[in-house]
Amino acid sequence: MSGPGMVPLGQRINFWIEDALGAVVHSPVGSRLRRWGVTGKALVTSVPYLWLLLFFLVPFAIVLKISFSDAQIAMPPYQPLISWVSEQVLEIKLNFGNFAFLVEDNLYWKAYLNSILVAGVSTLLCLLIGYPMAYAMARSSASVRNMLLLLVILPFWTSFLLRVYAWIGILKNNGLINNALLALGVIDQPIQMLQTDFAVYVGIVYSYLPFMILPLYANLEKMDLTLLEAAADLGCRPWEAFVKVTLPLSIPGIIAGCLLVFIPAVGEFVIPALLGDPGMLMIGKVLWTEFFNNRDWPVASAVAIALLLFLVIPIMFFQRAQDVESGAVHR
Amino acid sequence: MNQNRSWFRVLALVLGFAFLYVPIVSLVVFSFNESRLVTVWGGFSTKWYGALLNNQQIIGAALLSLKIAAIAASIAVVLGTLTGMALARFGPFRGRTLLSGLATAPLVMPEVITGLSLLLLFVTLEQLIGWPEGRGMATIIIAHVTFAMAFVTVVVQSRLAQFDESLEEAAQDLGARPAKVFFLVTLPIIFPALLSGWLLAFTLSLDDLVIASFVAGPGSSTLPMVVFSKVRLGVSPDINALATILITIVAIGVAIAGVVMSRQQKIRDRDAQMALAANQQMIESLKKG
């Protein structure tokens, strides 16, 4: 195919890039940028940096601001914090009423505590189900291991909403479980499972289980198995070796998995909305209701800030673990 | 290995995967059910697929969601790759801690918080500079890029941490500028990570209900928003049909990605072997000469 005059495609692209880069670097614009200290690295870093500042950090400042303002019936439904009373007098009205409201009203306390309870128990259940699975996967042969890994990741790629929806069909009064039990004669009345706390636990454990398995598997897979042999040589029984060697070594995986499940589960909205009792108090649902149904943006903002304050510590733990995991901690 | 323990491991895997897959299988099976009662079998039928394809609201929402997902995933891959490069390759620089914090926080941030904060940002911006005028596709894309790029960053960063920096250094020693090293050495090596990052961002965007509900305007309902308002009223077989179609597309996509990646791996392995062989030959000839 390629005659003597033909340059392979890769090399041609190579030349194009070289030409284009050379043109930029040697142009007056390029040298001026360099004089200002603008380097390629700075450009690469600044683009995502600016994006994240504008669309991730600044919004929190705005939520904080609006959590201190009064509600009003208008668009947008909140009053400005800072306003000019006259030419010279600038008025700043900080309204702590929204937070006082959260503290006084039992409903919010119950919702926070209940969310933490539900998320905590679900995390524990995920760990109890996920650890044996991750362990069994990590100790399988290499070819089986990759297949199982793919099977864990696959549900990720199918719609979360539809996977939660699937449980409605399984748990409802004339659903799969009740029909099966009735047909077998185990029960003669359908058991109410949908719209109970049980259904919410099932939904959360089911949806977040892969988030638990993946970090655990990554950790257990790279464990040095000769340590177990050494333990056995020194007279450790298998279960003793597991408790004394495997379990302590897998703690980073356990922490990462638990945080990946716990933090988003605290603010979960879809699962309690679809599977739970309509009266069930979860903070994500409360925030949603304040915002969409009551159109009280300042209270919704205060709920969000309070939730964020609670989650800051676990989130920082998570980031620390993430940094250690990626080997990128600079001392 | 102990007989008891391998028995326990098989049991853990069988039960665990049954838990993960029974609901998905039930969705698919009952999409072919004649009966409206989803979970009571009334004979084989494909009528719900017909009903689904005639539902203009769902088709319109699906097209909008696909458009949003494709654009958001593409932008997220570019921004996520830049972030991953900065975090994995630039060493310590001022503001690195903040960047890594900003880049990973969206991974775990509850969606209701992200959604509310972005909506308030858009409302404030509209008041201040008149943009964005109302909310719709553009605001949903921005929101999806912001949380999806965190996932791309993690994928790219871990891929970069895995491969040997000496390849890039070698190219630099041979006189290539950093940008050229990136396009000719780094990019081809991390391409599989970019591909899976793009697919991940695409599905995350396609799947998102909560954030989109906050930042969408009237008349820009995405597919999850339409599905949610439908399933809130109870099960309906055409949603099962929709789920089956989505699962099939995902399965095909994953299969294609798997084939592409394993082929690339083979090419890389072959190249590495050829390089080793050439090296060996050179050493032999040096010994002789």
Instruction: Report all structural domains of chain A as residue ranges with CATH numbers, in order of start.
Output: 107-295 (1.10.3720.10)
What φ, ψ does residue A82 adopt, rounded to 5°? -115, 125
Which token pair is A309? 């304050």
Q: Do B82 and A45 touch (CB under 8 A)?
A: yes
Rounded to 5 degrees, what angle do the CA atoms A182, B28, B261 make? 140
Backbone angles phi, psi at A234, to 5 degrees: -85, 5
What pLDDT is attached to residue B188? 86
Owner of token pair 């090293």: B181
Residue A206, pLDDT score: 96
Cα maximum dimension of chain A: 85
Sign of the four-CA dihedral B17, B20, B24, B29: positive
Tell me the C-alpha distance between B153 and B138, whole Å.
Answer: 22
Name the token pair of B13. Answer: 């895997």
Q: Where are the domains of chain B?
A: 57-241
Contact A218, A130 (CB under 8 A): no
- pLDDT per 10-residue tile (average), chain B, 289 residues: 70 92 90 77 84 90 94 96 90 84 86 93 87 85 94 89 81 81 85 87 92 89 92 84 88 79 77 81 79
In this prediction, residue A26 carries a pLDDT of 67
- Distance from the Cα of A4 to chain B's closest Cα (Å) equals 24
Nearest to B113 among A140, A238, A267 (CB): A267
* Multiple choice CATH, B57-241, 2.70.98.40, 1.10.1740.10, 1.10.3720.10, 3.90.1150.10: 1.10.3720.10
From chain B, the residues in CB contact with A209 under 8 A are: 16, 19-20
**Chain B interface mutation, best of A19, A41, A55, A292, highest count of B Cβ atoms under 10 Å:** A55
Are A136 and B92 a contacting pair at CB < 8 A?
Answer: no
* Degrees to nearest 5, angle at CA B113 with B109 and B117: 120
Nearest-Cα distance to chain A for B280, in Å, is 26
Rounded to the nearest angstrom, the minimum Cα separation between B172 and chain A is: 14
Phi and psi of A118, rounded to 5°?
-60, -45
Q: What is the pTM of this model?
A: 0.83
DSSP codes joined into one string, A137-160: HHTS-HHHHHHHHHHHHHHHHS-H
Which of A163, A175, A264 lies closest to B39 in CB terms? A175
- pLDDT on residue A44: 83
CB contact under 8 A, B112 and A267: yes
The beta-carbon contacts of B132-140 under 8 Å, at least 24 apart in sequence, are B134/B217, B135/B215, B135/B216, B135/B217, B135/B220, B136/B216, B136/B217, B136/B219, B136/B220, B137/B64, B137/B67, B137/B68, B137/B220, B139/B215, B139/B216, B139/B217, B140/B68, B140/B72, B140/B212, B140/B215, B140/B216, B140/B220, B140/B222
Task: Of A52, A130, A111, give the one whose Cα is nearest residue A268.
Answer: A111
Angle (CA) B79-B80-B81 rounded to 5° is 90
The CA distance from B176 to B264, in Å, is 24
Q: Give the nearest chain B residue to A134 (CA atoms).
A: B13
User: What pLDDT is stored for residue A89 in this prediction?
Assistant: 64
Question: Which string of b and e fits B53-86 if b means at least 16 CB within 10 Å?
Answer: eebeebeebbebbeebbebbbebbbebbbbbbbb
Task: Mark the ranges of chain A whose per-residue pLDDT is less than 70.
Answer: 1-26, 29-38, 72-76, 79-94, 325-331
Query: Could A55 and B143 be called an inter-chain contact, meaning their C-beta atoms sit closer than 8 Å?
Result: yes
Which 8-state DSSP code applies to residue A71?
B
Residue B70: φ, ψ to 5°: -65, -45
What CA–CA distance (Å, rounded) separates A118 from A99? 24
Q: Which residue in chain A is spatially nearest to B6 when comparing CA positions?
A: A136
